A and B are shown apart, each in its own frame.
Chain A
């Protein structure tokens, strides 16, 4: 039975910076500094009007394929994980399949998942390797939440950035590859991260366009992404350590066996709380949010990609990646990096739309 291994990864973020100074002018210095102190986020990258998550995903994938000289016809599986696709129908995978000039033999589909998207996409690819349906997969995690966040909703504007990650999976050699998965769902919390007027249940109307300020001064309409920050924070600092310990037991490893523990980058205080509860020492931690923000579904693979760029992922390294969010859902994957290592792609991570 074939197993998949990550053999290349590359991420892209827009060049447009949303700075603390801009946000202080919008929300006041005290509010912005208070949030930055907790979140550890001082700058976010957001797309220009007219640029979509698919554009970012295309750039990341194009650079990865070019950087590794991967013939397009060898890609036989494309999974695009996004919640901000170009269209409701068809999936963004078909748009990107055409733009990337992939072959007609390539399976392509979307995965509608939020911050936990990466381990879910890896598991789907692994399943298709095991079933003999794929031998060379491209996973694109891409989101541009800036387009669905109300500009006066400081709880979200201050935290979120846009970004995309392309990951190449090939048949594992030896001990490398995706060694184990652990998933779960607490659907009692699905309302805590929600875009209400976005589908059949609540069609868009004059009513859904009305923006309303809540008692904390945050403004949003039913057509904007909404988050109950306190519920999500609570879920993350309690559920994530619990399920991570379950996963470690299931995989038969301990924190001492791991070289790197990658967490979804929601905010720094939250990540530190989780690392602390798990007893992860500083040298096995990695943060990638200060200058890019929370990249939603692209967050956890972007951490891995940035760690690769910084030379923090050594050949043969054992990496645990945990991602969590919309659903509420969680996904964990244990990854053994190949002995050849994961060399960074020699391309920029900045994306500027063509004029």
Chain B
């Protein structure tokens, strides 16, 4: 089980942003410099640390909370 904090640190590192910017309701596209390419790289990074991401969930990833929910299921 990956903790919320581990996920926050992974996402922050991948997006090169301060972890404090990541709240559950943070819309990823509102983050500085975030674009569709970063989302794809993020998906790969999440799976590399063991986050299971079905295609239908990948289709709807929008907020940091969506990422947390993947691991809480």
Contacts and interface: CB of A to CB of B under 8 A. Distances in A.
Judge: A and B partners, yes or no.
yes
Interface of A: 30-31, 34-35, 37-38, 155, 186, 188-189, 192, 215-216, 228-231, 233-235, 237-239, 269, 273
A239 B54 CA distance: 11
A37 B55 contact: no
Interface of B: 27, 29, 33, 35-41, 43-44, 53, 55-56, 58-59, 61
Given A233-B43, A273-B44, A34 B37 contact: yes
A188 B54 CA distance: 12
A231 B44 CA distance: 12
A230 B56 contact: no
Contacts, number: 54
A269 B40 contact: yes
24 contacts: A30-B33, A31-B35, A34-B35, A34-B37, A35-B35, A35-B37, A38-B40, A155-B36, A188-B56, A189-B55, A215-B29, A216-B36, A228-B59, A229-B40, A230-B40, A230-B43, A230-B61, A231-B55, A231-B56, A231-B59, A233-B58, A234-B43, A234-B55, A238-B55
Contacts of B39: 229-230
A273 B36 CA distance: 17
Q: 5 closest pairs, A vs B, by CB?
A: A231-B59, A234-B58, A38-B37, A34-B37, A234-B55
Given A38-B37, A228-B59, 20 more contacts: A30-B33, A31-B35, A35-B35, A186-B55, A189-B56, A216-B29, A216-B35, A216-B36, A229-B39, A229-B40, A230-B43, A231-B58, A233-B40, A233-B43, A233-B58, A234-B55, A234-B58, A234-B59, A235-B55, A269-B40
B36 A229 contact: yes
A35 B36 CA distance: 8
Nearest to B33: A30
Contacts of A30: 33
A216 B27 CA distance: 11
A284 to B, nearest CB: 23
A56 B19 CA distance: 51
A230 B36 contact: yes
Nearest to B40: A233
A30 B34 CA distance: 11
Contacts of B35: 31, 34-35, 216
A37 B41 CA distance: 12
B48 to A, nearest CB: 11
Contacts of B38: 34
A48 B56 CA distance: 37
